[in-house]
A = this chain, B = another copy of it.
Amino acid sequence: MTGADRVLESSSEDVAVAVDAAVSASSAWAATSRSARASALRAVADALHASSADLIPVVDSETSLGTVRLTGELARTVHQLRMFADVVEEGAYLEVAIDHANPDSPVPISGDIRRWLIAIGPVAVFSASNFPLAFSVLGGDTASALAAGCTVVVKAHQGHPRTSDMVLGIARNALRACGVAEDVIGLVHGREAGRLLVSHPAIAAAGFTGSVAGGRALADLAHARPHPIPFFGELGSQNTFVVSAGAADARSEAIAEGLANSVLLGNGQFCTKPGLVFLPDSASGQQIVDALSDLIGQRPESPFLTQAVRDGFVVGTERLGDASGVTQLSPARTATAPSLWECDPGKLGSAVLEECFGPTAVVVRYRDQDELSGLLDRVDPALTATFHTEPNEKDFTTWLLGTLSSKAGRIVANQYPTGVAVTASMHHGGPSPSTTNSQHTSVGATAIRRFLRPIAYQNVAQELLPAELQDGAGAGVIRRIDGSLFF
């Protein structure tokens, strides 16, 4: 298909065909050895890396994110695929546990029990507008689902359909070349196709990155099915950023600069953007406000990812302009220019407490810990919460750490929340409303757990089970045997 004759809305028949293909490929992919699955993920990563020169201009033409950012995002996407290959190869994610029969124990075990995690089944992946590579066709959700042994049907984001088709082709060619059925990954386009996908009886789980409204609507569909499925939605997030009196005194200029960069990175189109900034009501707090206002107010406009994102930003900043107790600190410019606002601490309302996706942030000044405590009580949970404090403010920092920990999935100290490292220790998630499932992550190695379910085999002959579950070396996987962990 070329851009000209593309069908942007997959029909219900297209969706059915895509899911049927994913179902057909499902058993073989789930049964593929870990080493073969790791090889396939690496082959896909290599193919994506090799296609960089052809791919990036297409992505840029659809997203306006620029070559520098997209080159970095492609490297991250390749890294994610390779990281999950390593995860599969290591095998700890299987959570293998074996208890041998022990009829005489206090609670008798009548036959050997051998547990591990298996692929949950075909997964629907909803692409993100703001990560056309890292959270789209071959992004983190797809990589973790494929690693788990699940086949995937991606719902392309309408913001980058050509990118999506191109990446799909890269993936399917690479899979075919290493002897894997290309139907391990499929693609559909359009919102209605997305709804059909999450409602399809053969889809076993879904991963989503996007807006609160869109995510919640799909989560409702997933829950309303005759057989509900897990829906892992990474939704909007109004991320808190707190500066202590001491940090403002010590580092006002650096904090203003770091914060402005974090707010404006990628034109503010990151779910980890610090949108709600609590500053001390002090002279150095004022210095941060002034510097931040200058830095944000002087930043030229940048293009938005999509018309919908642009429109959402305009609506959000209009709501800020109309909200009681909210004033604009940066100079009034066009409706789409980066902006900084201030909210009276007595007037925290929904315009301020809800995320405005794009290059904007709201400052709130607090007099003391008591007032800050009351303000933080009103803030919704989020993906991240950041604080800047000084070493000599240990009591305040300890209190803040405890308070913010109840409200976020990642706590950042004296750094900035944008730029999510893809590692084993990363958690990218948070209590509702920032995600639909606070118990799992969409970034980092443990994201694979979303697409697995446990199964236990009782008294099943070992030779019928995979090596990981047999007595002996267990294919080199760490296991819990009769209660103790063994490498």
Which residue numbers of A lie inside 8 Å of B, CB to CB?
A: 27, 75-76, 79, 86, 92, 95, 97-99, 106-111, 113-115, 118, 120, 219-220, 223, 227-230, 381, 391, 394, 397-398, 401-402, 405, 408-415, 419, 421-427, 429, 431-433, 436-441, 444-446, 449-450, 452-461, 464, 478, 480, 483, 485, 487
Q: Give complex CA distance A230, B433 in Å.
A: 13
- A114 contacts which chain B residues (CB < 8 A)? 425
Q: Are A464 and B401 in contact (CB under 8 A)?
A: yes
Which listed residue, B411, B459, B461, touches A415 by the CB 8 Å rule? B459
Is A425 within 8 A of B455, CB to CB?
no
Q: Are A464 and B423 in contact (CB under 8 A)?
A: no
Whether B75 lies near A110 (C-beta < 8 A) is: no
Q: Which of B98, B397, B455 contacts A410 (CB 8 A)?
A: B455
Docked-complex contact A439 and B230, CB < 8 angstroms:
yes
Task: Assess the B455–A439 pair: CB atoms within 8 A.
Answer: no
In angstroms, Cα B416 to Cα A459, docked, is 10
Copies in the complex: 2
Q: Are A436 and B391 in contact (CB under 8 A)?
A: no
The winner among A109, A113, A219, A229 for most chain B CB atoms within 10 A is: A113
A120 touches which one: B220, B439, B464 (CB < 8 A)? B439
Jot down 5 A-B pairs with beta carbons below 8 A, ordered by A: A115-B426, A227-B381, A411-B457, A427-B455, A478-B485
A456 with B411: in contact, given A228-B436, A424-B483, A425-B480 (CB under 8 Å)?
A: yes
Contacts of A115 in B (CB 8 A): 424-427, 444
Contacts of A456 in B (CB 8 A): 409-411, 425-427
Q: Quick one: closest B residue to A82, CB to CB?
A: B106
Q: Is there an interface contact between B452 and A439, defined as CB atoms closer than 8 Å?
A: yes
- Chain B residue with Cβ nearest A110: B415
What is the chain B residue whose CB lies nearest that of A433?
B227
Partner of A458, one of B411, B439, B450, B455: B411
* Assembly CA distance A68 to B455 (angstroms): 31
B439 and A109 within 8 A (CB): no
- Which 9 residue pairs of A and B lie closest in terms of their CB atoms, listed nearest first? A227-B432, A427-B456, A97-B425, A115-B425, A113-B425, A413-B460, A427-B454, A99-B425, A99-B423
CA distance A480 to B445 in the complex (A): 11
Complex CA–CA separation, A114 to B411 (angstroms) = 10
Provide the bound-state CA to CA distance between A458 and B415, in Å.
8
A306–B92 Cα gap in the complex (Å)?
45
Min CB–CB distance A136 → chain B (angstroms)? 17
Contact A453 B439 (CB under 8 A): yes
* CA A440 to CA B452, docked complex, whole Å: 10
Q: Establish whether residues A415 and B457, one from each chain, have CB atoms under 8 Å apart when the complex forms.
A: no
Most chain B beta carbons < 10 A, residue from A92, A227, A402, A458: A458
- Shortest Cβ distance from residue A259 to the other chain B in the assembled complex, whole angstroms: 15
Contact A425 B98 (CB under 8 A): yes
Report the Cα distance A95→B107, complex, angstroms.
27
For A446, list chain B residues within 8 Å (CB): 95, 97, 454
Roughly how many angstroms separate A456 CA and B27 CA in the complex, as a whole number? 35
| CB atoms of A106 and B75 under 8 A apart | yes
| C-alpha spacing A40/B54, complex, angstroms | 62
A437 to chain B, nearest CB (A): 7
Beyond contacts A75-B107, A99-B426, A410-B458: 15 other A-B pairs, Cβ-Cβ < 8 A, are: A110-B419, A111-B412, A111-B415, A113-B421, A113-B426, A115-B426, A120-B439, A227-B432, A397-B461, A397-B464, A405-B455, A411-B455, A412-B458, A440-B454, A478-B485
| Residues of chain B contacted by A118 (CB below 8 angstroms) | 405
With a cutoff of 8 Å between Cβ atoms, the chain B residues found around residue A405 in the complex are: 118, 455
In the complex, which residue of chain B has the Cβ closest to the Cβ of A487?
A: B485
CB distance from A346 to the nearest CB of B (A): 23
A227 B423 Cβ-Cβ under 8 A: no
| Interfacial chain B residues near A109, Cβ < 8 Å | 421, 423
Assembled-state Cα–Cα distance A2/B92 (Å): 52
Residues of B contacting A460 in the complex (Cβ-Cβ under 8 angstroms): 401, 411, 413
Known A-B contacts A405-B118, A421-B110, A461-B391; A429 and B411 likewise in contact (beta carbons under 8 Å):
no
Partner of A107, one of B111, B113, B421, B480: B421
Q: How far is the CB of A355 from chain B (nearest CB, A)?
A: 15
Interchain nearest-CB distance for A337 vs B (Å): 29
